[in-house]
Amino acid sequence: MKWIKSSIAKKLWFTITAAIIITILYSYFLSYFFYEKMYVNNVETSLIEEGQRLASDYEGGPLTEELKEKIEWYGSKSELEIFIVSNPRELSACLPFEIDYEALISGKEREELLKGNPVQKIGYEERFDRDIMAVVIPLLDQARLEGIIYLYLPLAKISEVTTDFAYLWLIAALLFLVIAIFFGTVLVKRLTKPLLEMKRAAEHVSNGDYSIQVLNHSTDEIGQLANAFNHMAASIQREDERRKEFLANISHELRTPISYVKGYSEALISGIVKEDCERYLQLIHREAGRMERLVGDLLDLSQLDSEEFRLEKMPISLSQVIEDSLQKFWPVLKEKNVKLHYMLDPDIIIYGDEGRFEQVIQNIMDNSIRYTEKGKITLTLAKVKEGCLIEIIDTGSGIPREDIPKIKQRFYRVNKARTRKDGGTGLGLAIVEKIVSLHGGKLLITSKLGEGTTVRITLPMLEI
């Protein structure tokens, strides 16, 4: 049976063929049984009705020659063998061979005849040396058995009818088998075709070709599987593109500061730069800070994705955390001539991780400051129906509409140019969303290109 395990098409063929054969055999035996049973019952009923109809001409008393001749004439015209005797022991005189009456009608059957009940007999009759179906109709005069009418039909004639039925059924079964094989072939091909396509597509995906798609025109489970495969391949392709873009971003972000650090340090060591050494050291320090921030973001994402990671939650005054976080931005705000207005509700207490929320404010403010030139940033903290709301609105360059749904994806960057001026890693908002989610909150970003961006964070409050 190894060949069956090698292919789902063979399994389907084996299952369909077995089901068809079992159905045909079961239907044949069931229908043959019922057909024969119904036919035999019908013949038996006909014998009784015919015998009773003949017996209805008997009016009592000794049997007349006229009645005998009438019944014998009827028997000669009928397909049945019909005999009438005035004394059951004379039955042998009506047959073309010697017969013993006691072998045809037993004492028990005689008792039934005396009660006026017809007697049915079916099976092999030794005296006739054949299988028969017989009915014995009593001719009673009050309580005396004056005679009987004996009707029988050889079972060979019944077998001929059932044999004809078997031949017709066999022809119909063969026709059904041909039709079933034809439609079974169509069904198996239709079922296995998308599976074979998915197998070939999976091989393409395993070789790095994520653009492959499975053609699908059905809505059943296999069609849904094909759609899921296409969605998976498209997702892998998008993730692979983001990975490649992320690696390009990371390599650029690391290579640039490393180049600065190496170049400035070599200039200082070789003595090429003898004046303004402090400025070069500041540049080296700044580039080292950029590398530190990038590595820190990567470590943060790794920790936040870890199942073992746990927030260090405690009751914190959110307004105080925000105010402390903003202190470090005043120098750069002044340098870029960006105004900052904030309104904080001091009564809002949340159950959260203070360090992680400082990171949330820092990442959002970094983005707002980076993309705002001589504008304004407004930060508010207020109570709302869902708990509390942190809202940060800037008047910066804004985000294109098509980029807004993707802006929170990790490694995604609106500006693909990776300029020195706004060369973020594309990880900041992904970290923010993860931290907010771990605190049971929601992050919503809206923006209009050229007008600015609004970031809303909704968090549950700690009830006191």
CATH architecture of residue range(s) 11-160: 2-Layer Sandwich (3.30)
What's the CA gap between 234 and 228, in Å, rounded?
10
Q: What is the number of other CB atoms lying within 10 angstroms of the CB of residue 275?
A: 7
pLDDT score of 320: 93
Q: Which two tokens stand for residue 312?
A: 């260090």
Q: Does residue 239 register a pLDDT over 90?
A: no
DSSP 152: E
pLDDT in tens, 15-62: 777 777 777 777 767 666 665 666 667 777 788 888 888 888 787 778
Q: What is the number of other CB atoms lying within 10 angstroms of the CB of residue 43?
A: 19
pLDDT score of 162: 60
pLDDT score of 127: 67
Pick 221-302's CATH classification: 1.10.287.950, 1.10.287.130, 1.10.533.10, 1.10.287.80. Answer: 1.10.287.130
Q: Does residue 194 register a pLDDT over 80?
A: no
Identify which has the larger pLDDT, 351 or 268: 351
Strand pairing report for 442-448 and 130-141 = unpaired
| pLDDT, mean of residues 413-425 | 57
pLDDT score of 50: 81
Which of 9-23, 79-93, 141-155, 303-317 shows the lowest mean pLDDT across its residues?
79-93
Structural domain boundaries of the chain? 11-160, 221-302, 310-459
Identify which has the larger pLDDT, 356 or 309: 356
pLDDT score of 6: 56
Q: In what order do the strands lie in the sheet with 452-459?
A: 339-344, 376-384, 387-394, 452-459, 442-448
Shortest CA distance to 86 belongs to which of 59, 64, 108, 55? 64
Pick 310-459's CATH classification: 3.30.70.80, 3.30.565.10, 3.40.50.2000, 3.40.630.10. Answer: 3.30.565.10
What's the CA gap between 241 and 319, in Å, rounded?
40
pLDDT in tens, 86-144: 755 544 444 444 444 444 577 777 777 888 888 877 777 766 677 777 888 888 887 77
What's the CA gap between 304 and 363, in Å, rounded?
15
What's the CA gap between 227 and 218, in Å, rounded?
10
CB-based contact 285:449 (threshold 8 Å): no
What's the CA gap between 55 and 147, in Å, rounded?
10
